[in-house]
Structure formats: C-alpha cells, structure tokens
Amino acid sequence: MGKNNQQSARETKREAEDRIKEIKNGLFASCSFTSLGLDPKLSDQLKERMGFEAPTLVQAQSIPVILSGRDVLVNAATGTGKTIAYLAPLIHHLQGYSPKVDRSHGTYALVIVPTRELCLQVYETLEKLLHRFHWIVPGYVMGGEKKAKEKARLRKGISILIATPGRLLDHLKNTASFVHKNLRWVIFDEADCILELGYGKEIEQIIELLGSGQGEKDDSVPKGVQKQNLLLSATLNDKVNHLAKLSLDDPVMIGLDNSKVQPNLSLEAPDSDTDDLVIHVNKSANPLSEDYGIPSQLVQKYVKVPCGARLVALLSVLKNLFEREASQKVVVFFSTRAAVDFHYSLLSEFQWPPKSETQEEEETTKQLFLNCKTFRLHGSMEQDDRKSAFGTFKAEKQALLLSTDVAARGLDFPKVRCIIQYDCPGEATEYVHRVGRTARIGEKGEALLFLQPVEIDYLKDLKKHGATLTEYPLLKVLDKFPLPANMPRIKKVISLESHPWVITLQRALESFTYAEPTMKNLAKNAFVSWVRGYAAHKGELKSIFVVKKLHLGHVAKSFALREQPSLVGKSHQKETMKRKRDERSKGLQSKKTKKMNSNRNVQKT
Ligand SMILES: Nc1ncnc2c1ncn2[C@@H]1O[C@H](COP(=O)(O)OP(=O)(O)OP(=O)(O)O)[C@@H](O)[C@H]1O
C-alpha cells in the first residue's frame, strides 16, 4: 500500500472511531444512576460489578418513572439497555423493604419473556445485580426444564421470577406452593414477540390468575406501592394494543410517538395533572433511525443472488468475513430448524480444497472450508444442547452461530460484528430484531440480507419502516478467491452462476452432499421445510415471496442437491396419514384448523 493510501486508510479509521464515539455519547445520559433515584448501593453495584459508568438514555428516562410506580410502555432501539431499565427499579424497592424481603413471602416481581435463552439471560443479569442483596432471591421457570425441580424452587420461594409464558401458566395452575399473593410487578419483555409467538391466550389467563389486570388495582393504595405493570420492546406496534389495554393502567409512554398510539386504545395521554409524565424520546439525542429503532451506526447491506448460487454466495461471504478479520463473531439466520441442521453439518464437515483435487496430497493439507467454531441454535434441540450452544457462543471470541428466529429477540451476545439473514425474516419487526443482535450499546456492526432477484421488492417494505440497505459487492468478493488451476480464465463474468469460483464450489458442495446419505437426507429435509416456510409468508409479503415464482430445481441447488427432491417427504406422509386417521375418528375438522396445523409443521423456531 502506498503512503497516501495508508494515510487515507488511517483517516477513514479515525473518522469511523470518532463517529462511534459520537454515537456512544448520544446513547448515554449525562447523569448518574444515583441521581435517577436509585439506592447508592445499587448504583455502586451497577458501576463496580457491571461496569456501567452512566445510564443509557432509555434508562435515564425510564428509571424515575418506574420508581414512581406508574405503569410504563417502553419503546427503544435494540441494545440500548432496556433490561436494566426495568430490573434496577424493582431491586431498588425490594432492597429497601422493611421487614426485609424473605423467601417465604414468595414472588414479588415477575418478568415474562418469549424464549428460554432470553429467560436465562435476564436471570444471569439479575443474579449479578443482586450480588449485594443476597436476601432477594432470583429464579426462573421455562419450558424444557424439569418441572419437579422448578416446583421445589418455587416452594422455597423466589422473589424475582423470570418465566416463559407456557411454563408459568402451568405452575400457576398446578403448583400449589407457588406463593404470589405479594406480587407487585409484572413485566412483559419483548411484549410484541410474546403475542406473535401465539401466547395471547396464555397471557390473558396469566393476568387473570394473578389478578394483575388494569381493572384490578386498588385506588385506595398509593401509586408507589400498588401493582405495577411494564411493557417493553424495540418494536412496539399495534399488535401490543390488546395486551396494553389488558394490563396497563394510565401508562407513561417512553419512546412512543403519539402517531403510534392507537386512538381506540385506552392509552391516551394521561390527563391534566399527569400530563407532564408523558415522555417522548428526543430523536436527535437518541441515535435511532425513524420508525422502528435501528441503531444508526449499523451498516445495512443486501446481496442479490439467484437461488442456484445462494449456498456458494453464503459460504463465500462467510469465508471472506473470517479471512478479513479472524477474531469476530457472526450470526446467520435461517427460516427453519431443518435448514439450520443442514448448514450446520455442512459447515462442520465440508473441507477445502475438495477431495478430488488433493487426492495425491497428504491428508493434513485439507482443512475445513471455514476456519472457525460453528454453533447452532433452534427449538427442537435438547435443552442441554441449547444451553451449551448459547453459553459457549456468548463466551467465544471467534465463532459462527447458525440459528432460527429463536435467537432473534433480546439475546445479547457480546461482540457480534455481523448478522447475516440468509432467509428473509418476514415482517420488518423481525428484521429489526435480527439485526439488533449486533451494533449494541453503540458498538460497530454490519448486517447483510440475502435476496433473490424476484424478492427485491422486500427492500421497499423495509424502507417503509426506516431501514435503507445498500448493495453488497458480491462479484468483487468472489473474484478474490484463487481459481482452481484447471479452470479456464474468463475475462468477463456474464452472470454470477457462470463465475468459475461459483461453478467449482457448487460442484464440490454437491459431491460432498452426495457422498454421505445422512448429509443428503439433511439436505432433502431442509429443502422441503424451506419451501413450506417460504409458502407460509403472511399478509402483504405473500406478493413478494411467491412459491410459484421459484425454480425448485434452483432451490434444490441451494441445498447442494443436483435434482429437486419430492416435496412430500416420508415424515410428512406419515404425519398426513396420522392426521387423516385422527380426523376420521374425531369427525371432520374445520378447514381453518387444518390450515393452522400445516403451518405448524414448518417448525420455524
Ligand atoms: N448503562 C449501561 N452502560 C453500559 N452498558 C450497558 C448499560 N446498560 C446496559 N448495558 C449493556 O448493554 C447491552 C444491551 O442491553 P440490553 O440487552 O438490556 O438491551 P435491550 O435494549 O434490551 O436490547 P433488545 O431490544 O435487543 O432486547 C448489554 O450488554 C448490557 O449489559
């Protein structure tokens, strides 16, 4: 590199660093945790144990209001510190109780989250925060754990309980020793997601069983000690209206424009004396793009790839990323569990250069195509494997995580530099949460969305929600890879599929898949589930993601298959036969229920 080039590279780096500094400055409030009203011991804990020098803006806005006892609806970008914003005020109150909080008092606060991983994450944060307040006991209950053990823990008493909705409802109905008569706080973290995952009915029952609905407050009790409910997400939208209506009483809205609040909802700005408590985030101080909160330092790109070259493009992008910077973490999102399994096995075993070219060479010269540790995460893994993948990926410095949307919400993996959405996320809210796994708390981050040429209109949908993406220079990246010696040099590549690197890698991938029956089966299952998932896009997106527009032979290529497998796999046949048998015995099911069942078969998370 020439002197001038070196100097301009240094300047660009400095500029980027200055920008990040600027963003970080805009993300934090210029006050202390104590000045927000938190107990000095708790503020010290935040500083010394957690390393938090100052509150973030959303914390500075939320903490005093939550401390005041008002119900609150918080809408703030991903990675801006919402967890502390609600946990700190609870701990502040509980540590000051006299007589002291005791296990025998049962549960005082309940945090409801949509996924098991988020449940564990919030629990871990809570444990750290409670280090100095050992008499306040944290705990969690969630699907996949042994119920008997949870019952025993509940019997002993848990002061602050983190829970997923299904398991919580189960305990509320069946665990007599679960004491919640002192319950004061119910918090819905990722509120919109809880509803999107279909937990609406469970939540209604939970609110009823707990007596935490908005109509059930006792007006004679002062605000500071009566029941208080909080709802939080980066993408609060009209779907949350029902839950808000059900659970929030005269709430303060933080980070919500009036335009986002539905007129038919009982969430009008509180009248007269409480008017001053309605807070609107000052967008110039808060580094968010308009609409859904996307961190402004996030570099958002899309890559346009025809279906038949998708797999090669993914592997090439990943190789380029890890060769550019070995020490980094990347998350790739897929639409189905089977797709995660296939790509995980492929990346864990596929070697490069491929066998045929190195037959004469020593075994040791071959290595994995991607030189990094690879993990997977999805909903049908064993609970222990899920925990271990989540925990290890979190701790690694250089690693790749392949996941379904189970990792899209709330998870805080430190130092993730790039998010790749290999399969489209569906609604823009999901796009926002997936990309939100990077660029957290003012850090740098990149996001790359894979689109087929027929799907390009999806960009317009994202733009409507404030996400503007620029094109990723795929051809330039492909040109960087050394061509195999036996390939003719082509001066001008006409299409991506005719690129010699794409041809060679695709052939090698197909040979690899066909060499192992297990691998081929994984590919076939992934193909079938992917096509079904594609057909399950909802609403307006149905006109963008149209199965009929797909060339299924090319889709097969994207799973390293030479020909298109039958879309009716054996397991699907078995399921269909079983369903028909059940239907015959139960009488005819309604058309609607059948449709719901077939959608469930896609196993998206
Ligand atoms: N005041 C602070 N100073 C420095 N870091 C902080 C502060 N508060 C929180 N963090 C850190 O910021 C990261 C993001 O926080 P958190 O997970 O609560 O974000 P979030 O807003 O809930 O994101 P999401 O919407 O994705 O769930 C975490 O690693 C957390 O430890």
The DSSP bridge partners found for residue 400 are 330, 374
pLDDT score at 268: 29
Angle made by CA atoms 100, 103, 109, in degrees to the nearest 5: 85
Minimal-distance CA residue to ligand 1 atom 22: 82
CA-wise closest residue to 413 among 432, 434, 430: 434
Alpha helix positions (H), 137-249 = 147-156, 165-174, 191-196, 200-210, 241-247
Instruction: From the CA of 433, give the closest atom in ligand 1.
Output: 26
Instruction: Report how far ligand 1's centroid is from the alpha carbon of 432 (Å).
Output: 16
In sign, the C-alpha dihedral spanning 84, 436, 278, 60 is: positive
Distance in Å, CA 77 to ligand 1 centroid: 10
| Predicted pLDDT of residue 212 | 66
- Residues 51-90, buried b or exposed e (16+ Cβ, 10 A)? ebebbbbbbbbbbbbbbebbbbbbbbbbbbbbbbbbbbbb
For ligand 1, atom 8, the nearest C-alpha belongs to 81
- Distance CA(340)–CA(247), nearest Å, equals 37
Q: Is 529 in the pocket of ligand 1 (CB under 6 A)?
A: no
Q: Are 564 and 550 within 8 A, CB to CB?
A: no
Q: In what order do the strands lie in the sheet with 160-163?
A: 138-141, 160-163, 109-112, 185-189, 228-233, 72-75, 252-254
Cβ-in-10-Å burial (0-12, 13-18, 19+) of 507 comes to: middle
**How many angstroms separate the alpha carbon of residue 263 from the centre of ligand 1?**
31
- What CA–CA distance (Å, rounded) separates 343 from 209? 43
- Tell me if 157 sits within 8 A of 106, measured CB to CB: yes
The rounded Å distance from CA 127 to ligand 1 centre is 15
Pocket flag, ligand 1, residue 78 (CB < 6 Å): yes
Beta carbon of 91 within 6 Å of any ligand 1 atom? no
> Of 43, 80, 111, 233, which is best to mutate to test ligand 1, by the most ligand atoms within 8 angstroms of its C-beta?
80
H/E element, 329:
strand 329-333
Among the atoms of ligand 1, which is closest to the Cα of residue 33?
1
Class for domain 18-215+225-254, per CATH?
alpha beta
- Ligand 1 centre to CA of 89 (Å) is 15
Name the token pair of 94.
Answer: 């509980």
Residue 227 beta carbon below 6 angstroms from any ligand 1 atom = no
Q: Ligand 1 mean position to 435 CA, how many Å?
A: 15
Quick one: which of 157, 139, 148, 246 has its CA closest to 202? Answer: 246
Percent of the chain with pLDDT strictly greater than 70: 78
Sign (positive or negative) of CA dihedral 564, 566, 570, 576: positive
* Cβ pair 387, 411 in contact under 8 A: no
Distance CA 96, CA 35 (A): 17
- Name the residue of 82, 281, 429 whose CB sits within 8 Å of the most ligand 1 atoms, as the mutation to test its pocket: 82
Where residue 445 falls among pLDDT bands split at 50, 70, 90? very high
Does the CB atom of residue 55 touch ligand 1 within 6 A? Answer: yes
**CA 82 to ligand 1 center in whole angstroms:** 6
Relative to beta strand 351-352, strand 367-368 is: antiparallel
Whether ligand 1 lies within 6 angstroms of the CB of 405 is answered as: no
Protein residue whose Cα sits closest to atom 10 of ligand 1: 81
**Does any ligand 1 atom lie closer than 6 A to the CB of residue 403?**
no
Using the atom order of ligand 1, give the atom closest to the CA of residue 52. Answer: 3
- Determine the atom of ligand 1 nearest the C-alpha atom of 56: 1
User: Would you place residue 427 in the very low, low, confident or very high pLDDT band (cuts 50, 70, 90)?
Assistant: confident
DSSP assignment of 375-435 equals EEE-TTS-HHHHHHHHHHHHH-SSEEEEE-GGGTSS---TTEEEEEESS--SSHHHHHHHH
Ligand 1 atom with the smallest distance to the CA of 437 is 26
In angstroms, the CA 40 to CA 38 distance is 6
Our answer on whether the CB atom of 295 is closer than 6 Å to any ligand 1 atom is no
| pLDDT > 70? residue 598 | no
Residue-wise pLDDT tens digits, 342-398: 999 999 999 988 765 555 555 556 689 998 999 999 999 999 999 999 999 999 999
Ligand 1 pocket residue status of 300, Cβ below 6 Å: no
Domain with CATH 3.40.50.300 in the chain: 18-215+225-254, 298-352+367-558
Among 62, 84, 235, 254, the mutation site with the greatest number of ligand 1 atoms within 8 A of its Cβ is 84
Q: Answer yes or no: is the C-beta of 412 below 6 A from any ligand 1 atom.
A: yes
533 touches ligand 1 (CB under 6 Å): no
**Superfamily for the 298-352+367-558 domain:** P-loop containing nucleotide triphosphate hydrolases (3.40.50.300)
- For residue 261, pLDDT over 70 is answered with no
Q: How far apart are CA 265 and CA 240, in angstroms?
A: 10
Q: Where does residue 144 fall: left (phi above 0), alpha (psi -120 to 50 degrees), or beta otherwise?
A: left
* CA 520 / ligand 1 centre spacing (Å): 41
Nearest CA to ligand 1 atom 2: 52
Whole-angstrom distance, CA of residue 293 vs CA of residue 594: 37
Mean pLDDT of 203-223: 70
Pairing of the two strands 160-163 and 109-112 = parallel
Longest dimension (CA), the chain: 86
* Cα of 230 from ligand 1 centre, angstroms: 17
pLDDT of residue 577: 65
H, E, C per residue of 458-495: HHHHHHHCCCCCEECCHHHHHHHCCCCCCCCCCCCCCC
Nearest Cα neighbor of 462 from 447, 476, 475, 473 is: 447
Q: Which of 288, 440, 443 to mutate to test the pocket of ligand 1 (most atoms within 8 A of CB)?
A: 440
| 150-191 pLDDT per residue, tens | 999 999 999 999 999 999 999 999 999 999 999 999 999 998
pLDDT, averaged across the chain: 84
Distance (angstroms) between ligand 1 centre and the Cα of 533 equals 32
440 ligand 1 Cβ < 6 A: yes
What pLDDT, on a 0 to 100 scale, did the predictor assign at position 286? 37
User: Within 10 Å of residue 41's Cβ, how many Cβ atoms?
Assistant: 14
φ, ψ dihedrals at 554, nearest 5°: -75, -35
Element (H, E) at 231: strand 228-233
Question: Which carries the bigger pLDDT value, residue 214 or residue 462?
Answer: 462
526-565 pLDDT, tens digit per residue, is 999 999 999 999 888 999 999 999 999 999 999 999 999 8
Residue type, 481: F
Q: Find where tokens 């104590």 sit.
A: 34
Helix (H) or strand (E) holding 346: helix 337-349
pLDDT range class, residue 411, cuts 50, 70, 90: very high
Report whether 557 contacts 308 (CB < 8 A): yes
How far, in Å, are 116, 143, 289, 383 from residue 146 at the CA level? 13, 8, 43, 10
d(CA 50, ligand 1 centre) in Å: 11
Q: Which atom of ligand 1 is nearest to the CA of 436?
A: 26
ipTM value of the model? 0.99
CB contact set of 462 (below 8 Å; sequence gap of 6+) = 428, 431, 468, 469
**Which residue's structure tokens are 């594609």?**
534
